[in-house]
Structure 1
Amino acid sequence: MSRRVLTQADGVLVHPLSYIRAERGWSYQDLVDVIARRAGNMARRREKAWRWEHWGVVPDRETQIALAAELGIRQELIDTQPWPEWLPAGDPIRAEFSWDQPGSMLAIDQALGNAMMDRRGFMRLTGAGLAGFATEWLNVDPVELTSVLRGGRITEDFVSQIEAGMPRLRMLGEAYGGQRSRRLIDAELGMVAEVLEKSSYSVAVAQRLHGLAAELGRLAGYISFDAGLHSAAQRYWVAAVHSAHAAGDRALGANILKSMALQCYDFGDFSGFLAIARTAYEGAGNATPRTVGMLAVRLARAHASVHDDAEAHRLLGVADTYFGQGPRDDDPAWIGYFDEGEFHAQVGMCYLELGNMRQADSRLDKALKGFFTAKPLDHATYLVMRARVQNELGNADQAGDLLHQAVSLIEQAPSRRNVDRLVAVRDRLPDGIRGNDLDQRLSTLTG
Structure 2
Amino acid sequence: MRRQTAAELIKQARTARGWSQADLAREVCRAAGVPVDTLGRQEIYRYETGRRTPREWLPFVAGALSIPVADLERAASIKARERTPTTIADFLPPDDPLEPPDAASGRQIGMSAVRDLTQRVHGLRLADDVLAGGDLIGPALRELRTAVRLYSDASYSDSVGRELLRGIGELAQIAGWIASDAGRHVEAERIYRLGIVASHRAGDLTLGANLLGSLAYQRSNTGDVRAGVTMATTACEQATDGPPRARALYSDRVAWAHAKAQASQDAIRALGAAAEALAEHADEDEPGYLYWVDAGELQVMEARVYTELHRPLRAVPILRDVLERYDATHTRELALYLSWLAVAYAEANEPEEAAATAHRVISLSSDVASERTAERVRVVLTALRPYRDVPDVRDVLDWVS
Give TM-score, length-normalised by structure 1. 0.64
Give, in angstroms, the shift of residue 278 of structure 1.
Answer: 0.7
> SS of the counterpart of 1:165?
helix
The whole-number CA distance in structure 1 between the counterparts of 2:230 and 2:337 is 25
The whole-number CA distance in structure 2 between the counterparts of 1:135 and 1:192 is 22
- The answer on 1:434 being equivalent to 2:389 is no
Greater Cα radius of gyration, structure 1 or 2: 2
Code of the aligned partner of 2:392? I
Counterpart for residue 368 of structure 1: 323
Counterpart for residue 178 of structure 2: 223
The correspondence of residues 180-329 of structure 1 with structure 2, limited to 5 A, is 180-329=135-284
Give the count of matched residue pairs.
Answer: 311
The whole-number CA distance in structure 1 between the counterparts of 2:139 and 2:370 is 17
Could you say if the C-alpha distance between residues 238 and 176 of structure 1 is closer, same or farther in structure 2, counting changes exceeding 3 Å?
A: same
Give TM-score, length-normalised by structure 2. 0.71
Give, in angstroms, the shift of residue 263 of structure 1.
Answer: 2.1
Counterpart for residue 68 of structure 2: none
Asked if structure 1 preserves the Cα contact closer than 8 Å seen for 2:359 and 2:396, the reply is no
Asked if structure 2 preserves the Cα contact closer than 8 Å seen for 1:270 and 1:302, the reply is yes
Asked if structure 2 preserves the Cα contact closer than 8 Å seen for 1:297 and 1:350, the reply is no
Asked if structure 2 preserves the Cα contact closer than 8 Å seen for 1:210 and 1:246, the reply is yes
Per-residue CA shift, 1:342-384, capped at 9, x if unaligned? 1111111122233322221222223323234332211111110
> SS of the counterpart of 1:368?
helix
The whole-number CA distance in structure 2 between the counterparts of 1:98 and 1:338 is 39
The whole-number CA distance in structure 2 between the counterparts of 1:364 and 1:402 is 12
Could you say if the C-alpha distance between residues 97 and 236 of structure 1 is closer, same or farther in structure 2, counting changes exceeding 3 Å?
A: farther
Provide structure 1 residue ranges, at least 5 long, that are not aligned to the other structure.
Answer: 1-95, 100-130, 139-144
Counterpart for residue 355 of structure 2: 400
Counterpart for residue 382 of structure 1: 337
The whole-number CA distance in structure 2 between the counterparts of 1:320 and 1:390 is 25
Give, in angstroms, the shift of residue 437 of structure 1.
Answer: 5.6
Give, in angstroms, the shift of residue 240 of structure 1.
Answer: 1.3
Could you say if the C-alpha distance between residues 386 and 374 of structure 1 is closer, same or farther in structure 2, counting changes exceeding 3 Å?
A: same
- The answer on 1:162 being equivalent to 2:117 is yes
Give, in angstroms, the shift of residue 415 of structure 1.
Answer: 1.4
Could you say if the C-alpha distance between residues 369 and 328 of structure 1 is closer, same or farther in structure 2, counting changes exceeding 3 Å?
A: farther
Counterpart for residue 4 of structure 2: none
Asked if structure 2 preserves the Cα contact closer than 8 Å seen for 1:214 and 1:244, the reply is yes
Could you say if the C-alpha distance between residues 306 and 293 of structure 1 is closer, same or farther in structure 2, counting changes exceeding 3 Å?
A: same
The whole-number CA distance in structure 2 between the counterparts of 1:438 and 1:414 is 22
Could you say if the C-alpha distance between residues 435 and 333 of structure 1 is closer, same or farther in structure 2, counting changes exceeding 3 Å?
A: same
Code of the aligned partner of 1:434? V
- The answer on 1:348 being equivalent to 2:307 is no
Provide structure 2 residue ranges, at least 5 long, that are not aligned to the other structure.
Answer: 1-41, 46-84, 93-99
Root mean square deviation, CA, Å: 2.7
**Comparing both chains, which one has the higher relative contact order based on Cα–Cα distances under 8 Å and sequence gaps of 6 or more?**
1
Give, in angstroms, the shift of residue 146 of structure 1.
Answer: 8.4
The whole-number CA distance in structure 1 between the counterparts of 2:348 and 2:333 is 23
The whole-number CA distance in structure 2 between the counterparts of 1:402 and 1:280 is 35
Code of the aligned partner of 1:188? E
Could you say if the C-alpha distance between residues 289 and 97 of structure 1 is closer, same or farther in structure 2, counting changes exceeding 3 Å?
A: farther
Code of the aligned partner of 1:136? D
Code of the aligned partner of 1:217? A
Counterpart for residue 136 of structure 1: 90
> SS of the counterpart of 2:335?
helix
- The answer on 1:338 being equivalent to 2:297 is no
Code of the aligned partner of 1:362? P
Identity %: 27
Counterpart for residue 313 of structure 2: 358
Per-residue CA shift, 1:8-63, capped at 9, x if unaligned? xxxxxxxxxxxxxxxxxxxxxxxxxxxxxxxxxxxxxxxxxxxxxxxxxxxxxxxx
